[in-house]
Amino acid sequence: MNGTYAESGESMSLIVQKFGGSSVRDIQRLFHVAQRIRRDQQQGHQIVVVVSAQGKTTDGLIEKALEICESPSKREMDMLLSTGELMSISLLAMALQQLGCPAVSLAGWQVGIHTDGSHQNARILRVDTRKIHQLLDEGKVVIVAGFQGVTENGEITTLGRGGSDTTAVALAAALKADRCQIFTDVEGVYTADPRIVEEAVKLQEISYQDMLEMAAMGAKVLHYRSVELAKQEQVCLEVLSSLNEAPGTLVRSLRDSSPSLRGLTADQTTLYYVIPHITLEDAGRLMTDLYRQEIRPDLAEQPAAGQLCFAISSHQRSAVTEGLKRLRLGALLDENYAKVTIVGNGLTAIPQLKQECDSALQEAEIPCRSSWLGERRLSFLLPRNQAQKAMQILHPIVLRHRT
């Protein structure tokens, strides 16, 4: 087959492309995305597209539900939220057809994206590929609804935060795609969020492990689960912009380099809990309970006997609230903190790193509530309103210790 596509210098490959909600938020963006897909298909590639719900659709649906019910059933929420992606896939298929490009949309259950039964936070168990391969062989662009799946009992599920990324990676793995492209509104993975740190540098490539660490620590460009799955299935990910043609960042297997820094992230939605009275036994129970839900409280410490403090990300709040309730524990919740993290490799082997950071923060008069140094990251718990300033101050240190 290669000869057919000699002109482009590339052989035919199967590419999974994922577009987020802002990339398809209105008609203009939708056609922009459609044109890009058509071009790639015309170059001889087989294209499977994963789309999220348009713009603020999902938020609007959640709002509707909350007007009816304070805590709606998770099953019915999944039924409701799954419609956002069904709208965007059909509209994108129409846009492609309007451009003369044969396209067909598929709901999660139509593909056969099989998940477990954890409504609102389901895990993909396996993906059927027969229907997609058949449609690709008919020359069609196949557009799959992100974020949704179906249980073996035919119940509709959604995958939770960043679900569409996970759909894309799972499809790429099942289809043995040559590449999984995640289109977003930034040009790739940077040493820091370029909207906050002007000097941030785009990375050509990053290892799965470094990307996982950055995602876990608040980088929004890729969701943790999708990177985890990509690593496990060895899917070559590419993060790039849907707005321009700049080369993106490849996320893949890389040999561990010598000790060096990779990037800087911030979780500005950190919640800091102080439990003033807790037995060691209950502390263990609480942690076990949270770990079981894939929540890893960070920066935990026991400042005094019978006390426990820890940080989580705000989207994990309800799980902690429930956990505390079950154990009948009272806790103080402080929402005034952010967690700023330097990610890298062999951090403890970089001389003076911690001291350099501490002095830089001290000089800028940014108080640090707590910090953690490990092989792969150095985190600081700081006042939320100073997080951006802290990033700007710490970023030169990251650049100095890259490679």
Of these, 46, 52, 82, 115, which contacts its own copies (CB under 8 A)?
A: 82
Q: Does 30 bind its own copies (CB under 8 A)?
A: yes
What distance in Å separates the CA atoms of residue 144 and residue 364, rounded to the nearest whole number? Answer: 49
Minimal distance in Å, beta carbon 65 to its own copies? Answer: 6
Q: Looking at beta carbons only, is 157 or 345 nearer to its own copies?
A: 157
What distance in Å separates the CA atoms of residue 368 and residue 382, rounded to the nearest whole number? Answer: 5
Of these, 79, 243, 295, 327, which contacts its own copies (CB under 8 A)?
A: 79
Of these, 87, 201, 236, 327, which contacts its own copies (CB under 8 A)?
A: 87
Q: What is the DSSP track for 210-232?
A: HHHHHHHTT--SS-HHHHHHHHH
Contact letters (x/-) for its own copies, 58-77, by CB under 8 A? ---x--xx-xxx--xx-xxx
Q: Which of residues 42-61 bind its own copies (CB under 8 A)?
A: 61
Which H or E run contains 109?
helix 108-111
Cβ distance 129 to 174 under 8 Å? yes
Using the rule CB under 8 A, give the single segment among 89-97, 160-168, 270-278, 349-357 that binds its own copies: 89-97
Minimal distance in Å, beta carbon 94 to its own copies? Answer: 5
Of these, 154, 303, 330, 351, which contacts its own copies (CB under 8 A)?
A: 154
What distance in Å separates the CA atoms of residue 95 and residue 49, rounded to the nearest whole number? Answer: 13
Cβ-proximal residues to 114 (8 Å cutoff; 6+ apart), any chain: 124, 125, 126, 127, 128, 149, 150, 151, 152
Q: Does 172 bind its own copies (CB under 8 A)?
A: no
Using the rule CB under 8 A, give the single segment among 95-103, 170-178, 242-250, 258-266 that binds its own copies: 95-103
Q: Which of residues 303-322 bind its own copies (CB under 8 A)?
A: none
What distance in Å separates the CA atoms of residue 398 and residue 255, rounded to the nearest whole number? Answer: 20
Q: Looking at beta carbons only, is 30 or 275 nearer to its own copies?
A: 30
Secondary structure class of 339 (helix, strand, coil): strand
Of these, 37, 95, 141, 219, which contacts its own copies (CB under 8 A)?
A: 95
What distance in Å separates the CA atoms of residue 73 and residue 50, rounded to the nearest whole number? Answer: 27
Cβ distance 264 to 197 under 8 Å? yes
Contact letters (x/-) for its own copies, 98-117, by CB under 8 A? x-----xx-x-xx-------
Distances (CA, A) of 3 to 7, 9, 15, 141: 8, 9, 19, 22
What distance in Å separates the CA atoms of residue 349 and residue 339, rounded to the nearest whole number? Answer: 22
Of these, 33, 48, 89, 366, which contacts its own copies (CB under 8 A)?
A: 89
Query: Which residues are near its own copies by CB under 8 A?
Result: 27, 30-31, 61, 64-65, 67-69, 72-73, 75-77, 79-80, 82-83, 86-87, 89-91, 93-95, 97-98, 104-105, 107, 109-110, 154-156
